[in-house]
Amino acid sequence: MGVADVLKEGPGKAFMLCNEAIVRGALEADVKIVSAYPGSPTTEILDTFSEISPKFDYRMEISTNEKVAIETCAGASMVGMRSMTSMKSVGMNVASDSFFSLSYTGVKGGMVIVMADDPQAHSSQTEQDGRPFGPNSYTPMLEPSDPEEAKRMVRAAFALSEKYGVPVLLRTTTRVNHQSGIVSLEKMDRKPFAKLAWDHPPGRFVTVAESARNFKHALLERTKKIEEEFEASEFNRIVDAGSDVGIIASGAGYNYAVDAAKILGIKPSILKLGTTYPLPKELIAGFLKKLKTVIIVEELSPYLELYVTAIAKDANPAVKIYGKWSGHFSEALEYNPNLVVEGLAKALGLKMPVEYGAILAKAKELKAGLPDRWPTFCPGCPHRATLHALLDATRGMKHILSTDIGCYSMSFLDPLRYGDSLLSMGACLGVAAGMQYAAQEKVIAMIGDSTFWHAGMPGLVNAIHHGDDLTLVILDNEVTAMTGQQPNPGRDYNAGGRAAKPLVLEEVIKAMGITDITIVDPYQVKAAVNPMREALTRKGPNIIISRRACALYADRNKRKRGEVIDTNKVDPEVCKRPYSCVKSFYCPAISIDDGDRKAIITKELCDRCDVCAKLCPYGSIKRREGE
């Protein structure tokens, strides 16, 4: 596990996170260009590529956004190099404009796009099912269930991509990306990086009107050939148990189906589908012909179910199909072994071997009064201080907060419950524009630096051009914090620590035409309030930049420099229990003593941002000395 295993000489075995196995597969396949924007559950692909990049000669960019990332790979693969990008479900939406055209033009060098959905919306705005991107764009799609298979599929995807001149989707879900397992390592046979000559006729990758119509016919032919190849793909496996009950499953659903059958003590035949576009229709038809009952185990939308139902109409109209349409499985949330046990048992009329309901009921009883622990701002997080100052600055000011994607999104969670809308990367500005037309209240948009570079700029250009009356608060914490503090265009380095040109937020915004820019330091939590309030009372569009490095990032840099991270403590002699350090602040390092009801700071958690000390009216919070 970890970078050392990704680098290990093959052949051998290692315990790897699926995202690391994907990187390993790409390295074995001699990938030459990597470009991505971080997003859970794909981030460790980017992080691993970035960390090891000094040891290899592939070229890598942590891109401004997913659209730029996919285009960077497209350009390199047009020339003839192998490229890889990875993105989360909603990142795919950003990239999709170019993605659809790319299927038309095709590529020369192999190009693999890792597209990771997030059932359960663990770290996403929606439970989007990305699989329809395959058929909608005529892009072949492979879907692994575990790290070992993911690595093999990456290698196969590069070969397939080059054979047919088309990018290939590797579609994963959170429980596949964030699964670790034993992976077989093969030899890395890498050729030295060397630029290639452009050897295409003019217009080769131009798709519009007549050329688009020509490309369309060609891609239909291509898809037919790929489907024929997929009929015999090693990634579609039938375990024929000779039963008249069958399961068709893919991805994470396959893992649960295998365990659920075991828990139920049944031996159905299983068709595991690894090529989920184009689907091997003949293989599915042959599988259905032997069955009386088939159960489809797939997360999110009834994608396979739709195709299987259509195929069954000719192949075996009598087969009984159980899935989401029959009500045995849900289109909501991710699956797990017990949900699949329940679905199978219900479909097959079996007795439940374990009374999950009773176990859950008992657990609920035992958990009475157990406090929730939602994700929250880290100790020392500048966002917590910014939000405190913003709440102070807007006291008595009716306003709407149009927020955006990043750590600061957590402001809408308990106990702060602050924020009125959140749609997608960069959306705070467009939404705020609409709000300021329609609402009586003051409109505030809030965005982080990385999200601003990613997709906030067009929204700001729009607001400036139209003179929209809104205030944009930019939380500049220097990095893409939520996904693990990756560098963004504001930093002077990029992937692998390589030097990069830093862009300065206020200079870019000034050049766009706004001079009303207020810059505050959120750690000066009291001093920031008045300038913020004044800015908020002026006519917009105007800007507040709250600037302070992400605490995790700053701490890591401190540790690298060998600096000690100080902590604070509460002097109980001075504390008069005003709870100023708790209210509207809610730092995980601060709690209240059950006995004397005074505040306590947990040494192991405190980051000594010193903001709570500034909030205390009695000065009871001081630096911890000599402990």
Interface positions, 136-195, toward another protein (CB under 8 A): 145-146, 175, 178-182
510 binds another protein (CB under 8 A): no
Closest separation in Å from C-beta 120 to another protein: 11
Per CB under 8 A, which region of 295-303, 442-450, 516-524, 590-598 contacts another protein?
Answer: 590-598
483 binds another protein (CB under 8 A): yes
338 binds another protein (CB under 8 A): yes
Contact pattern for another protein over residues 104 through 123, marking x by CB under 8 A: ------------------xx
Q: What is the dihedral of CA 417, 422, 425, 428, to 10 degrees?
A: -100
586 binds another protein (CB under 8 A): yes
Per CB under 8 A, which region of 2-10, 29-37, 324-332, 433-441 contacts another protein?
Answer: 2-10
265 binds another protein (CB under 8 A): no
93 binds another protein (CB under 8 A): no
Sign of CA dihedral 170, 173, 179, 181: negative
Per CB under 8 A, which region of 53-61, 67-75, 157-165, 332-340 contacts another protein?
Answer: 332-340
Q: Phi/psi of residue 345, each to 5°?
A: -60, -40
Distance CA 71, CA 66 (A): 8
Closest separation in Å from C-beta 552 to another protein: 9
Distance CA 257, CA 618 (A): 61
- Name the residue with tokens 């001093």: 527
Closest separation in Å from C-beta 340 to another protein: 9
Between strands 293-297 and 320-322, the pairing is parallel
Q: Which of 194, 209, 363, 511 binds another protein (CB under 8 A)?
A: 363
What residues contact 110, with CB distance under 8 A and at least 6 apart?
Answer: 29, 77, 82, 83, 157, 158, 159, 160, 161, 162, 168
- Residue 396 and residue 598 in contact, taking contact as beta carbons nearer than 8 Å: no
360 binds another protein (CB under 8 A): yes
Which of 304/407 has CB closer to another protein? 407
592 binds another protein (CB under 8 A): yes
What residue spans of 470-504 are helical by DSSP H?
none
| CA 514 to centroid of chain Cα atoms | 32
Per CB under 8 A, which region of 79-87, 191-199, 567-575, 598-606 contacts another protein?
Answer: 598-606
Which of helix, strand or coil describes residue 73?
helix
Between strands 141-142 and 83-88, the pairing is unpaired
Which of 22/544 has CB closer to another protein? 22
Burial of 11 per CB tally in 10 Å (0-12, 13-18, 19+)? exposed
| Token pair belonging to 554 | 């700053």
Closest separation in Å from C-beta 415 to another protein: 4
309 binds another protein (CB under 8 A): no
378 binds another protein (CB under 8 A): yes
Of all helices (H) and strands (E), which one includes residue 547? strand 542-547
41 binds another protein (CB under 8 A): yes
What residue spans of 394-548 are helical by DSSP H?
427-438, 449-451, 457-466, 505-512, 529-537
What residues contact 544, with CB distance under 8 A and at least 6 apart?
Answer: 471, 472, 473, 474, 517, 518, 519, 520, 531, 532, 535, 536
262 binds another protein (CB under 8 A): yes
| Token pair belonging to 295 | 């159960």
Closest separation in Å from C-beta 349 to another protein: 21
Q: Which of 590, 609, 611, 616 binds another protein (CB under 8 A)?
A: 590
Q: Which of 232, 597, 618, 619 binds another protein (CB under 8 A)?
A: 597
Q: Footprint of another protein on residues 525-584 (CB under 8 A)?
A: 579, 582-583
Q: Which of 30, 34, 40, 274 binds another protein (CB under 8 A)?
A: 40
Distance CA 594, CA 380 (A): 24
Which of 352/464 has CB closer to another protein? 352
| Token pair belonging to 373 | 């622990």
391 binds another protein (CB under 8 A): no
